[in-house]
A and B are shown apart, each in its own frame.
Chain A
Amino acid sequence: MVINLFSWIKRLFKKKKKAKIGIYGPPNAGKTTLANRIVRDWSGDAMGPVSHIPHETRRARRRGDVIIEANGTTVTLDIIDTPGLATKIDFHGFMACGLEEDEAKRRAKEATEGVIEAVKWLDDLDGVILVMDSTEDPFTQVNVTVIGNMEARNLPLVIAANKIDLQKASPARIRGAFPQHPTIPISALDGVNTDQLYKEIAERFG
């Protein structure tokens, strides 16, 4: 295996500092559930509310100084829970979830602003945890775009293959789709396999 020698030497001599890590993914992949899980596990608090209606998170939320200890490594992270990325937002979809038209339109407007905010954060991160729904097709444009941006910037990326508590989940499909990046099967809701995720976070972002 070819080693990125330059990056390795740079990391070896660089003083460890705080890393800004964005939690990205499509709407309803479980980003805020995972952000809540991480922050609760390591600082005893929560980041934001979750909902079955897509685009519940419409403003990026930042939690600073989250210290994670795993595998003998300690990392200090600023965690940014970003709004779900999408290429289309139709208020009719929110009406189908039971919202009134005015409320659905307002949510759609805020969701578009949230997507813009999430895209802008990509320029200011040290790494990304990309949350994918293991029950869904992994080759979505959102996943392809986020991974492409991290690779182009040569920044670390960890894929959290979420919702393995569901019967249809297939984290192996995600691993097969993006074999160049570490993929950790988890259930953010139940906390399954999060220890493995923390080890990977400590290794990649430390």
Chain B
Amino acid sequence: MSQNKNSSQTNIQLDFISEDKLAQMTPMEKIRMVLDEVRSGKIIVLERGLTPDEEAKLIEMTMTEIIPDEFSGIEIESYPTKQNTSFFRKILGKNTTQTRLTVIGQANQLTTIKKDRDMITAIVTK
């Protein structure tokens, strides 16, 4: 677990990952990076989140890595996506999904207290 001992305190590392960095990665690279970082004990904050398809694949990959008493899965919290619903895109039947900020951590580290359309309240424990 990525916890830095500092006198009597135990800290947990938070990584804030920019939209630009995510844009350079393939979906599989993003998912692998998220799972590796989270499994090492970090809390990941993605500026622009994952696409719905990537979220589904992340859930799928997480399930393959669950080990009893070692890794029970992830807590992932993102705001509902927004649809780019311009008139012409509607006419053409094409939707563009706007992904939003996403927080991911190990299920036993990150607990969501409350979530609504525009606010996520969570606590991080050791």
Contacts and interface: CB of A to CB of B under 8 A. Distances in A.
Is A bound to B?
A: yes
B68 A2 contact: no
Categorize the interface residue count of chain B: 35 or more
B80 A122 contact: no
A88 B93 contact: no
Interface stretch (A14-22, A41-49, A66-74, A113-121): A113-121
Contacts of B81: 144, 147-148, 151-152
B73 interface: yes
**Chain A contact residues: helix, strand, loop or mixed:** helix
Interface in B58-102: 59-60, 62-64, 66, 68, 72-81, 83, 85, 87, 90-95, 97
17 contacts: A3-B90, A6-B92, A85-B59, A88-B72, A88-B73, A115-B60, A116-B63, A116-B64, A122-B56, A139-B116, A141-B55, A145-B52, A147-B81, A149-B52, A151-B52, A151-B95, A152-B95
Contacts of A178: 80
Nearest to B79: A144
A119 B61 CA distance: 10
A184 interface: no
B91 A6 contact: yes
Contacts, number: 109
Most buried by A among B93, B107, B114: B93
B32 interface: no
A149 B93 contact: no
Contacts of B68: 91, 105, 108
A5 B91 CA distance: 5
Most B CB contacts (10 A, CB to CB) among A86, A119, A177 go to A119
Nearest to A177: B117
Contacts of B18: none
A139 B63 contact: no
A167 interface: no
A119 B52 contact: no
B62 to A, nearest CB: 6
Contacts of A154: 93-95
